[in-house]
A and B are shown apart, each in its own frame.
Chain A
């Protein structure tokens, strides 16, 4: 009869958890690449320069259609080869996590550029016109009017993108990355498959919790930035001012 050994699962939890840092590291790395270059790519898509625009659209189409595992393989095997040919530099000793970051980063650029583009377009273009007509420079109009509103709109999508990034990175174990997934695979083989359920349910629970945290965190930020909250704070401030004024009146009157 199948018996799930909670105590064993519990032990594995602590064997896996330290490697969550690797998972978080590649997520952070890929997200950074995605945000920086994705912003440029979103600008290309929104801009008037035809060649740049078509390049960005083409890049997105190709990257979105690629299964992440192919990308990881291509980067892992292709990049060292290309670097050796071109610069006579040997990359064989490099930590695999950087290959995973590059592979995920390349596809994040596509995803995030789409998120940024649609978030920008969701803010009515009239506000930009009103801003430049009021003497804002295009950058000021972006920085003060368009960006804060677009950021708020983009957060739910960013949250999903981040969770997808976390899951896709688990494929890094195929090129020998020791993140929580790689570690779980390793533990599974050293226990000869005897603890397979204990290990992988625990692993699943970690992913599950992590995505709940990501989602919750994003919700928190979204609420922080929301107009409703600004309005609410405003109301509280006003109520406070009225109360203070009334109190002042009473003191003076008495």
Chain B
């Protein structure tokens, strides 16, 4: 459904992405792992045209798009078919939870306000935030804000949802509620997702495909069981060791 080939991205002289290929099928939950600075987030942002890649093509459905020279209509098409969940939630601070969900429908998708409201209510219900629909972001906890962020992402009924470290800014206690919703989306609704995360438990239990990135390239990809039990690459082993066993140090 979504296929990226040869994605390159420079920031100044730094090459952040060095020709990344990625294929996502409908119903996939692709988890991207990797150390910070490996280009995971940049890759995700390039898909949504929040960054413009310097090279590479995207095949989305039956459309082929040159990432560097994407037309406005192509960007709009991709943004309509995808949605983005941000690390810092990025809710509209001057809008209520419900408005946060409906504004994009009304202005971005030209859905009549009344219909948008119904969709918004349903989306908030799915993430368990319906009782907070009149609250402004500043009145919500981080976990609640991110749940509204997810509601905003699912409301437009996208083909793919892109999660950019959705739990990294949260208190440890609040991570569970957000991961729980993401798991529900994957299991119950069969939502296609690309998730950049450091939550190994999520990757192990939900992912259909795990990708390991380092220094702007995909080093390894595979099914989660295979990936976690028999990582092939030395760098992957090292990364997994440092993340999975970090709690076992005793001082």
Contacts and interface: CB of A to CB of B under 8 A. Distances in A.
Interface of A: 123-124, 126-127, 129-136, 140, 144-145, 148-149, 227, 230-231, 234, 237-238
Contacts of B107: 135-136, 140, 144
Given A134-B104, A135-B104, A148 B94 contact: yes
Contact of A231 (B76, B90, B139): B139
Nearest to A148: B94
Interface string B78-92: 011001101010111
Contacts, number: 74
B134 interface: yes
A127 B90 contact: yes
A134 B83 contact: yes
Contact of A135 (B86, B109, B138): B109
User: Chain A interface mostly helix, strand, loop or mixed?
Assistant: helix
Contacts of A145: 92, 94-95
Contacts of B28: none
A131 B79 CA distance: 11
A130 B93 contact: no
A134 B50 contact: no
Contacts of B79: 132-135
A230 B103 CA distance: 17
Contacts of A140: 107-108
Given A133-B50, A133-B83, A126 B88 contact: yes
Interface string B42-84: 0000001010000000000000000000000000100110011
A149 to B, nearest CB: 5
Contact of B136 (A130, A134, A227): A227
A173 B48 CA distance: 58
Contacts of A124: 88, 90
A-B residue pairs, 3 tightest by C-beta: A135-B108, A134-B104, A126-B90
